[in-house]
Structure 1
Amino acid sequence: MSSEPLVDPALYREVVGRFATGVAVVTTVAGGTDHAMTVNAFTSVSLEPLLVLFCVEKIARFHEFVLAGGQWAVSVLTDDMRDASNWFATRGRALDGQLEAWPHTRGPVTGAAILASAVAALECRTYAVHDAGDHSIVVGEVLSLDVPDPRGKPLIFYEGTYRSLA
């Protein structure tokens, strides 16, 4: 039996990259420290109960903290927040002061940071975690909702680059 993949990984990335996604930052507080990570694998799951999910790479330091914390917030980014997306996607950045450049509030339920200019925000409690290869699928029960910037337009990721709605 050959260990060669049946599908070329580069072609896989190209093909799935043609699915337009929104961009969000997921935050949590663990041990009194803020943790944050950019995600584009985020979606609603269920209306009864209210569930959403995001995917996190197992080797990301955020993985350990979001699972340990058990509560987290999602800030859906506006099209003028590309810098925030890039910053929170930077591996190994210092945790101290990482939110200073981004105005935010604390979620009333979780205490996790919610970016003030987000187009949408949710606070969640971990409902289930599923193994998915090199990632974990983290399913959350929605605890609160907000629309920080009701006029904002979402940041879109398509074909490996940021886009905006026309």
Structure 2
Amino acid sequence: METSGPLDARQWGEGPPSDADVDLYRRLSSDITAGVAVVSARLRNRDYAATVSGFLSVSYDPPTMLVSLYAESRIGEAVEEAGSWALSVLSGKHQGAATWLASPGTPLHGLLAQVPFRRGPATGSAIIDGCLAYFELRTVSVHAAATHLLVVGEVVAMGSAADPSEVPDPLVHFGSEFRRLAP
């Protein structure tokens, strides 16, 4: 049933959105609940990693995923240059690691020193210990989109590092915060 009455909407015509439009977009888009993961890549014997909430499954056949990375970030540059990467889907117990790897200005040397991980068998990228699921990927395309890179990768290995006896407790991002689904 269609209802009547005005929607609280902002529109703009020609040209870029104003600062107020960008702020409104940030506020409204922060109310989109998303899973939280860590993207990692190994480039020239150095680990790169960052927390992301912009990722999705693209196809089952062949298994393909996409991640959105800030184009000027170290992780964006590393993933693009390395050609392979890993995505570790985090549980609630990883909230500290997610916050650490989402913080601006994290050190390049020793970035993962306080985050337990193992090397992925196919790419050598870091897989976060205890993650709900992990995917190792080979980049098949990179698309520039505004300030970000949309990196599409074909899955070359996958699994779970979670303890089967633990209750699934995915970490999500909502309202500009990390939150747990389990009480």
Please give the alpha-carbon distance, in whole angstroms, between the structure 1 residues aligned to 2:116 and 2:75: 21
User: Which residue does the alignment assign to 1:129?
Assistant: 142
Alignment pair present for 1:161 and 2:174: no
Gap change, CA 1:130 and 1:2, over 3 Å in 2: closer
Q: Cα distance 1:119–1:3, how it changes in 2: closer, same or farther (>3 A)?
A: same
Which structure has the greater CA radius of gyration?
2
Deviations 1:65-97 (A, max 9, x none): 111100001111111211111111122322222
Aligned ranges 1:48-127 → 2 under 5 Å: 48-127=61-140
C-alpha RMSD of the superposition: 1.7
Is the alpha carbon distance of 1:32 and 1:159 closer, same or farther for their aligned partners in structure 2, counting shifts above 3 Å? Answer: same
Give the number of the structure whose residues are more often strand, by fraction: 1
TM-score of the aligned structures, taking structure 1 as reference length: 0.93
1:8 to 5, 11, 21: 21
Distance 1:46 1:123 in 2: 15
Identify unmatched segments of 5+ residues in structure 1.
none
**CA–CA distance in structure 1, aligned partners of residues 16 and 122 of structure 2:** 48
Q: Distance in 1 between matches of 2:47 and 2:25?
A: 34
Percent identity for Structure 1 against Structure 2: 38
